[in-house]
């Protein structure tokens, strides 16, 4: 019986170039604008998807991937901005959980009373139910495999990924998200990948390399995505090794 592939979701070319180098016997299938590079790693089927930036793109691409490939697992990997003062450029965040940081409800204010984003609450709007914040969860077994990996270029943090179509540059807003909701970083695709994977009961895990820290004035490094890819590649090798023992 043919093995179900591991799917790796990537937004930008600089977040997938190393993985494409590792993909053997590769061919590219294009659905709409979304690119699915089908191949093998160590003779195991792997699909690398370029989903492009923003959650709407990641939603569409993840749905296509689930329907087209029926994957064994989905890894969402790429770059992210740090939340917190103890997370630095080059560190890695592994998403035990993920939340939507742009799904907000504001307090009632009259004209002229202004606006303050530190008063907004994160909630999910659920038809027929009370609004509440929903967490999307990474697969426990994939998290345990990730904890077995070594990484020499920084620290590896396990916890909450904040995700949504926003680039926060206000230190107070970033620290508010970190302190109130426990976010370790922010990016734009993870919440879509986690939500679709959880809805369709596909094991999922997000891996993010920190590309900048606005609080500490650590500038954006566009090319640091290779380190996230290397970490994700080692996780894939762990997963493939387990299949060989079954």
pLDDT at 243: 79
The residues, ordered by sequence, that sit 6+ positions from 164 with a Cβ below 8 Å of its Cβ are 55, 100, 101, 102, 103, 186, 188, 191
Given a contact cutoff of 8 angstroms between Cβ atoms, the answer to whether 82 and 91 are in contact is yes
Spatial contact of 83 and 183, defined as CB atoms under 8 Å apart: yes
How far apart are the C-alpha atoms of 50 and 13, rounded to whole Å?
8
Angle, vertex CA 71, rays to CA 191 and CA 240, nearest 5? 105
Output the CA–CA distances (angstroms, integers) from residue 84 to 157, 175, 185, in the order listed: 12, 6, 8
Residues 124-174 pLDDT 10s: 999 899 999 999 999 999 999 999 999 999 999 999 999 999 999 999 999
d(CA 145, CA 84): 25
The Cα 178–Cα 186 span in angstroms is 10
Distances (CA, A) of 140 to 9, 94, 145, 174, 194: 19, 12, 9, 27, 13
Running along the chain, 246 residues long, what does each successive block of 10 average in pLDDT?
89 96 98 98 98 98 98 98 97 98 97 96 93 96 98 97 97 97 98 98 98 96 95 98 73
Domains detected in the chain: 6-95+136-245 (3.40.50.1580)
The DSSP symbol for 214 reads T
């Amino acid at each position: 019986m043919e093995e179900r592939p591991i799917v790796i979701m990537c937004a930008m070319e600089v977040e997938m170039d190393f993985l494409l180098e590792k993909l053997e016997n590769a061919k590219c299938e294009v659905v709409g604008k979304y690119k699915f590079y089908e191949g093998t790693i160590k003779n195991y089927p792997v699909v690398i998807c370029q989903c492009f930036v923003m959650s709407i793109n990641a939603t569409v691409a993840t749905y296509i991937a689930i329907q087209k490939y029926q994957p064994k697992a989905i890894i969402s990997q790429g770059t992210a901005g740090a939340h917190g003062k103890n997370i630095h450029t080059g560190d890695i965040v592994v998403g035990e959980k993920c939340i939507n940081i742009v799904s907000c409800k504001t307090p009632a204010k009259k004209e002229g009373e202004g606006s303050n984003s530190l008063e907004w609450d994160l909630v999910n709007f659920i038809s027929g139910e009370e609004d509440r914040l929903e967490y999307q969860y990474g697969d426990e077994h994939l998290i345990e495999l990730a904890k077995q990996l070594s990484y020499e270029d920084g620290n590896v943090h396990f916890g909450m990924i904040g995700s949504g179509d926003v680039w926060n540059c206000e230190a107070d807003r970033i620290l508010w998200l970190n302190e109130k909701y426990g976010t370790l970083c922010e990016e734009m695709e993870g919440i879509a990948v986690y939500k679709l994977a959880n809805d369709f009961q596909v094991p999922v895990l997000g891996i993010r390399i920190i590309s900048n820290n606005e609080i500490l004035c650590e500038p954006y490094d566009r090319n640091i995505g290779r380190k996230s890819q290397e970490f994700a590649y080692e996780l894939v090798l762990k997963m493939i090794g387990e299949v060989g023992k079954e």
